[in-house]
């Protein structure tokens, strides 16, 4: 099986042997953003690319919007969960669902508009030479817009702390803008992933490297959400603070492979 180019993706509607590509969008109270992000995805990727919305019983009607979008776009699906169960479990449930649908390429991005779907084709194409591609704010060419100096500093230091403590060599291990090969998700062992909040991204990166997956970083532009509220809470931050040292203690042997970054180190 070949690996993705835009021409390859364009064949999805016609060729059942083409790479099956799915995007997983976890949502909680994203009614203001969901239609806009779906339209942005459809503007850059072929209609055959699947979009799975994983909604944690949003009280603002996000799930109902997903159902309405699915009535006009058969490649949109909704996985409705009964309660707010955490970002990590939402992604794991979504990954399992799209793998069952036959996904060979799985992408993830935030539904709040902070990740630009226009950068998805580059992440997907980079899987030709990688198992996991991370959209990175901290390699050459990447940047953050709309954040103050304190927030930038906390984010950057958190990434450095996680990467160094776990020996990963990844500049942006907390990034939620990613593309995986199917084989990477199968090797990681999704049922064993424990993190529920933003530490999920670190755990997935660490597991991928420990299982010999090749991880590369591509520069992206990250923008703060313009609508809705951030889901970051003190509880989520505390989980990240203890979960990362716990990952190091849980390692049985060896060091993870180091990652390859676009734009140098």
Q: Per-residue pLDDT for the chain (265 aa), expressed as one digit of tens each? A: 454 454 555 444 444 445 699 999 999 999 999 999 999 999 999 888 999 999 999 999 999 999 999 999 999 999 999 999 889 999 999 999 999 999 999 999 999 999 999 999 999 999 999 999 999 999 999 999 877 777 777 777 888 888 888 889 999 999 999 999 999 999 999 999 988 888 899 999 999 999 999 999 999 999 876 555 655 555 555 555 556 766 666 664 444 444 565 443 3
Q: Tell me, yes or no, whether 66 lies in a domain.
A: yes
- Helix 34-44 to helix 62-72 angle, to the nearest 10 degrees? 30
Asked if residues 133 and 181 have their Cβ atoms less than 8 Å apart, the reply is: no
Identify which of 117, 115, 33, 45 has the alpha carbon closest to the alpha carbon of residue 75. 45
Structure token pair of residue 144: 């953050």
- What is the helix (H) or strand (E) element at residue 131, kind and residue range? none
Instruction: Indicate the number of domains in the chain.
Output: 1
CATH code, 166:
3.90.550.10
- Residues spanned by the domain of 131: 6-248
Q: What angle do CA 170, 122, 217 make, to 5 degrees?
A: 5
Instruction: Please state the length of the chain.
Output: 265
Q: Tell me, yes or no, whether 258 lies in a domain.
A: no
Q: Tell me, yes or no, whether 257 lies in a domain.
A: no
Radius of gyration of the chain (CA): 17
Whole-angstrom Cα distance, residue 103 to residue 49? Answer: 10
């Amino acid at each position: 099986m070949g690996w993705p180019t835009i021409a390859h993706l364009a064949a999805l509607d016609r060729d059942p042997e083409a790479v099956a590509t799915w995007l997983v969008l976890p949502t909680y109270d994203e009614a203001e953003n969901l239609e806009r992000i779906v339209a942005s995805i459809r503007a850059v990727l072929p209609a055959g690319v699947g979009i799975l919305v994983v909604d944690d019983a949003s009280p603002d009607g996000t799930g109902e919007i997903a159902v309405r979008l699915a009535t006009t776009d058969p490649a949109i699906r909704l996985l409705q969960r009964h309660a707010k169960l955490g970002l990590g479990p939402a992604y794991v449930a979504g990954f399992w669902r799209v793998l069952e649908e036959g996904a060979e390429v799985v992408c993830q991005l935030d539904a709040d508009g902070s990740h630009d779907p226009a950068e998805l084709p580059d992440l997907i194409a980079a899987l030709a030479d990688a198992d996991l591609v991370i959209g990175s704010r901290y390699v050459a060419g990447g940047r953050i817009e709309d954040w103050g100096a304190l927030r930038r500093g906390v984010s950057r230091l958190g990434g450095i702390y996680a990467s160094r403590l776990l020996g990963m060599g990844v500049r942006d291990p907390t990034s939620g803008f990613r593309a995986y090969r199917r084989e990477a998700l199968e090797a990681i062992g999704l049922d064993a992933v424990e993190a529920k909040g933003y530490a999920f991204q670190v755990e997935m990166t660490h597991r991928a490297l420990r299982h010999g997956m090749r991880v590369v970083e591509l520069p992206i532009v990250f923008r703060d959400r313009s609508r809705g509220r951030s889901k970051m809470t003190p509880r989520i931050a505390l989980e990240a603070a203890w979960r990362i040292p716990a990952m190091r203690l849980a390692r049985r042997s060896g060091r993870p492979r180091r990652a390859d970054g676009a734009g140098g180190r």
